[in-house]
Amino acid sequence: MPELLVSPEWLHENLDAVRVVDASWYLPAQGRDAKAEYREGHIPGAVYFDIDAIADTSSELPHMLPAPEKFAEAAGALGLSETSTIVVYDGMGLFSAPRVWWTLKTFGAREVRILEGGMPAWKAAGYPLEAPAPSPSPARFTPRLDAAGVADIERVRGTLNGSGEQVVDARPAARFRGEAAEPRAGLKSGHIPGSRNLPFDALFAEGEPQRLVGQDRIRALFEAAGVDWQKPVVTSCGSGVTAAILSFALAAAGKEDTAVYDGSWTEWGGRTDTPVERGEA
């Protein structure tokens, strides 16, 4: 996975040659404040990418992708261009960084990598943090939207009618089966009919939380969940964050025909015109 992941050692040696992005974001239940943690200390030179602000704020759905021109303006203000070599990390190790990795790639960034182990690995290696936020020189980001990598609700509806794409849901098994209530009020319980379930944390190495297992193991886990490796995959979750972990893992294992369902269960489970299944896939 050398083209997708970099080690803390590599990043420390190449800080002056890359753009570093803090992509930290937490669920309310995690009780952490990503912005406050960034202000207290971040990897030197890192800018903060707020997935709730660099988003379609007119949508009722959380952190939906913004229009290309809005994204380009925000990315440019952070000193990012589509030709930059960008390294993304988050405060948990591998949680929200894949969402920002996917967002940057979707809008045409060519070289985007994730810091393996994230902030915990950087700290464990003994590398320094800085507190003042940097003032990056504005850059020009020329967006080129990869529409094939973004699934909307109509595309997901097509999977119900034999489109050939497979939906893989990253939520915990109890939520997928409809046995546990959704954390967002007003959502139905269950899953998209015909979808498969691979909880995102199943992709983490034992004893190394928030680090991906190897490429062969990634493929084996998806196949064990009922995924046909030869067919395209649409990933989903609660709101499009942990779905990107699945997409990143698929990319790490060499699979390219993937997309993220941006609205995910917040959209599907919040509507009255969408069918729902409960129980095992």
Active site residues: 237
Displacement of CA 66 from its chain's centroid (Å): 15
Are 27 and 52 contacting, i.e. CB atoms less than 8 angstroms apart? Answer: no
**Amino acid identity for residue 8 in this structure:** P
Alpha helices in 145-260 (DSSP H): 153-159, 173-177, 215-224, 243-252
Distances (CA, A) of 149 to 17, 97, 264: 28, 17, 14
What are the residues facing 72 on neighbouring strands?
Answer: none
**Amino acid identity for residue 191 in this structure:** H
Rounded to an integer, what distance in angstroms lies between the CA atom of residue 128 and that of residue 212? 24
Q: Name the percent of the chain in helix, strand, coil, to the closest 5.
A: 30, 15, 55
